[in-house]
């Protein structure tokens, strides 16, 4: 579970906003004991030495908007990963470090069609999914609008309409084929991260007017918290 956002913490974040967007500082730290409780033990054992944390690439980096080719295990050594399990562990640790519930490989500059999702205790008891070569086969006709954020766009929140459930296929960190129907927040996270694989981000899903309003709200919030303003 991510560290609680107190007024003091948000003030600190606002003051360090530029460093955060450049991946030089985490947005919020994770709680090691609580967040790792539900993850596959094999992922946890993959690398017991000091954690490897990858920096988030900025929104202006073209790698964030590239369509990612299907994942091939033989490419892992190019970026010093022993196997899928080790990559999943690094992605998980990085996601937790930045306080997220989903992170795609291209958000940290890796050309892999994979993402990690989950970890929050209120979402399926904190279950972690390591997703390689995701496919969405079907979605519900019923949709739900909800505010979303993205680690690549700190403090930007947009109301996004998405299908309520989705039928998905992927392979996990052990190369096992997985097929399941995701509902609620899991369906939303999967769809959001899958979009990263296809070369677009959640800001592409709203009108320019709505995006400008959200950016203005972010700017006001950061100015307010940088001055020590209270949370409402």
* Domain positions in the chain: 7-226
Q: Residues of the chain with pLDDT > 90: what percent?
A: 67
**Contact between residue 105 and residue 114 where contact means Cβ atoms under 8 Å apart:** yes
Alpha helix locations (H) across 16-83? Answer: 17-21, 32-35, 41-44
Whether this model's pTM surpasses 0.75 = yes
Alpha helices in 98-207, H assignment, sequence order: 184-197
Euclidean distance between CA atoms 164 and 166, whole angstroms: 7
Backbone angles phi, psi at 200, to 5 degrees: -140, 165
Q: What is the mean pLDDT of residues 42-47?
A: 51
Specify the CATH superfamily of domain 7-226. Answer: Peptide deformylase (3.90.45.10)
In this predicted model, what pLDDT tens digit does every residue of 178-225 receive, in sequence order?
999 999 999 999 999 999 999 999 999 999 999 999 999 998 888 877
pLDDT at 134 over 90: yes
Residue 35 has pLDDT above 60, yes or no: no
Mean pLDDT of 133-156: 96
Residue 232 tokens read as 């409402």
Structure tokens at 28: 């919020």
36 HSE (CA, 13 A, CB side):
18
pLDDT of residue 162: 97
- 7 pLDDT higher than 60: no
Higher pLDDT, 16 or 132: 132
Q: What is the mean pLDDT of residues 12-19?
A: 62
Which pLDDT score is estimated for 223? Answer: 81
- Answer yes or no: is pLDDT of 13 > 80: no
221 or 7: which leads in pLDDT: 221
Q: Put the strands of the sheet holding 114-118 in their side by side order.
A: 102-104, 114-118, 128-139, 165-171, 177-183
Stretch 117-137: mean pLDDT: 94
- What does the pLDDT average to over 124-135? 96
- Return the ∠ at Cα 166 (arms to 161 and 168), rounded to 5°: 135
Strands 143-150, 114-118: pairing is unpaired
pLDDT digits (tens, 9 = 90+) for 53-83: 999 999 999 999 999 999 999 999 999 999 9
Instruction: Please report the pLDDT score of residue 47 as a whole number.
Output: 45
Instruction: Summarize the confidence of residues 171-177 as an average pLDDT.
Output: 98
Residues labelled catalytic? 193
Instruction: Tell me whether residue 168 is exposed, middle or buried, using C-beta atoms within 10 angstroms of its C-beta: 0 to 12, 13 to 18, 19 or more.
Output: buried
| Distances 16 to 21, 156, 181, 218 between C-alpha atoms, Å | 9, 16, 39, 14
């Amino acid at each position: 579970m991510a560290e609680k956002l107190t007024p003091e913490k948000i003030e600190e974040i606002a003051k360090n906003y530029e460093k955060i967007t450049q991946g030089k500082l985490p947005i919020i730290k994770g709680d090691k004991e609580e967040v790792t409780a539900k993850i596959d033990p094999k992922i946890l054992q993959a690398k017991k030495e000091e954690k490897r944390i990858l920096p988030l690439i900025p929104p202006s980096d073209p790698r964030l908007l590239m369509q990612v080719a299907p994942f091939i295990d033989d490419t892992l050594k190019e970026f010093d990963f022993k196997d899928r399990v080790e990559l999943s562990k690094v992605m998980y640790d990085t996601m937790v470090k930045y306080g997220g519930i989903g992170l795609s490989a291209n958000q940290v500059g890796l050309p892999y069609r994979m993402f990690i999702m989950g970890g929050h205790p209120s979402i399926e008891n904190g279950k972690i999914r390591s997703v390689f070569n995701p496919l969405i086969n079907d979605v519900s006709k019923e949709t739900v609008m909800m505010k979303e954020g993205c680690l690549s766009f700190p403090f930007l929140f947009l109301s996004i309409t998405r299908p309520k459930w989705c039928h998905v296929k992927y392979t996990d960190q052990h190369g096992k084929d997985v097929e399941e129907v995701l509902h609620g927040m899991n369906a939303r996270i999967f769809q959001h991260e899958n979009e990263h694989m296809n070369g677009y981000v959640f800001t592409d899903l709203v009108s320019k007017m709505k995006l400008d309003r959200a950016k203005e709200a972010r700017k006001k919030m950061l100015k307010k918290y940088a001055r020590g303003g209270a949370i409402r």
